[in-house]
Amino acid sequence: MSTPVSSIKNLGPAFEAACTRAGIHSAEELRALGADAAYGKLLESGGKPHFIGYYVLVMALQGRPWNDCKGEEKKALRTRFDAIKDQSFDSDRSAFDAILNEIGVVERRPG
């Protein structure tokens, strides 16, 4: 029997939908992958990198409140997040985003 991703405290329906797009279909799969591999899959499937989203996932999988990450632990997570982002997120893939930015459909990004 599989449990919905959204059954994990602090991971709601939007995160569950992102997991589904990334091929992660249950809380059990998410836990087995772990935060780093799962977040990499989210980025590879088109998700945009967001540090808070990453550390919320880490905290959720540890059963901790989403805002429990502080100090040196948060700095260490930032280093892990940056490494995952560098390996898994293709900013060049966003040509479509650039077109949408140009016509004002999505928020303009610097660059």
Question: Which token pair is 62?
Answer: 């540890």
> Can you tell me the distance from the alpha carbon of 45 to that of 41, in angstroms, rounded to the nearest whole number?
6
Instruction: Report the chain's terminal Cα–Cα distance, integer Å.
Output: 47
pTM of the prediction?
Answer: 0.78
Q: How big is the chain, counted in residues? A: 111
Q: Please compute, for residue 82, the number of CA atoms within 13 A of its CA located in the half-sphere on the CB side.
A: 6
Q: Can you give the pLDDT of all 111 residues of the chain as single tens digits?
A: 799 999 999 999 999 999 999 999 999 999 999 999 999 999 988 888 999 999 999 999 999 998 898 999 999 999 999 999 988 776 555 555 555 656 666 555 454
* 107 in any annotated domain: no
Q: Is the dihedral of CA 73, 74, 76, 81 positive or negative?
A: positive
Query: Which CATH number belongs to the domain containing residue 89 in this structure?
Result: 1.10.150.20
The number of domains in the chain is: 1
* 75 in any annotated domain: yes
* 110 in any annotated domain: no
